[in-house]
Amino acid sequence: MADAHHSEDDGRIEAGRKLFAGPVTFLMGVAKLEQLPDAFPAEVAFAGRSNVGKSSLINAVSGQHDLARASNTPGRTRELNYFIAGNGKLAIVDLPGYGYAKAEKTAVKTWQRLIRNYLKGRPGLRRVFVLADARHGLKPQDSATLALLDEAAVNYQLVLTKADKCSVRELAAVAATTAQAVSKRPAAHPQLIVTSAKTGAGIAELRAELAGMIS
């Protein structure tokens, strides 16, 4: 039984490797819902506070150094950025980072409405990967996003980033607290993925999850 489980894990990792062995390309930035492209066979989104390492993680997953360029000013990107993998089978959407209040209130409201409407009405959206810094875990802003995802009934999974910046003990403590915090949330995926874009830790597992979205 253990061998079967092991070979299943190997198969998932290999599927993830194959998915990102081909080109991953930037398709478009979307500022308004009417600009959204036609639905893809499978779509996933990455969400997280500004400066959580979202661009670095997307680059690490894609195997390309500058696919998702980090904006010079944290929180400046206000568009949904679409990347395509697996010959059009999978769309990866980089959602605007949240947590910076530099924009005027009307801009923030417009942006929040765009995200909310996207989450509630996007066909083919399989999962949202919510990123949290492994040094800090979930912050109040993250909890607000999780509540929004629960309300929209969109499946989501927590990903800890920058794991290389913590000691093993610190990482274990934050991982346990984070897993506990989402365990009772209705739309949360139970498994936490711990990653480091710098060392490559957890990237194969995250790729495997993404490959699993393609039916």
141-194: per-residue pLDDT in tens? Answer: 898 889 989 988 999 999 999 999 999 999 999 999 999 999 989 999 999 999
Least confident of 66-70, 102-106, 204-208: 102-106
Q: What angle do CA 95, 60, 100 make, to 5 degrees?
A: 35
Whole-model pTM? 0.91
Multiple choice CATH, 2-211, 3.40.50.300, 3.30.300.30, 3.40.1550.10, 3.40.630.30 = 3.40.50.300
Backbone angles phi, psi at 71, to 5 degrees: -65, 145
Which amino acid makes up residue 176?
A
pLDDT tens sequence across 33-57:
899 999 999 999 999 998 899 999 9
Pairing of strands 193-194, 156-161: parallel
- The domain locations on the chain are 2-211
Residues 154 and 185: beta-carbon distance below 8 Å: no
Q: List b or e across 153-169, with b for residues whose CB sees 16 or more CB atoms inside 10 angstroms.
A: ebebbbbbbbbeebeee
> Mean pLDDT over residues 71-83, rounded?
67
Res. 72 pLDDT band, cuts 50 70 90: very low
Residues 166 and 174: beta-carbon distance below 8 Å: yes
Mean pLDDT of the residues in the chain: 88
Backbone angles phi, psi at 92, to 5 degrees: -110, 120
Q: What is the pLDDT of residue 75?
A: 47
Query: Is the model more confident about 74 or about 9?
Result: 9
Distance (Å, rounded) from C-alpha 129 to C-alpha 94? 10
76 pLDDT more than 90 = no
Token pair belonging to 188: 């949360």
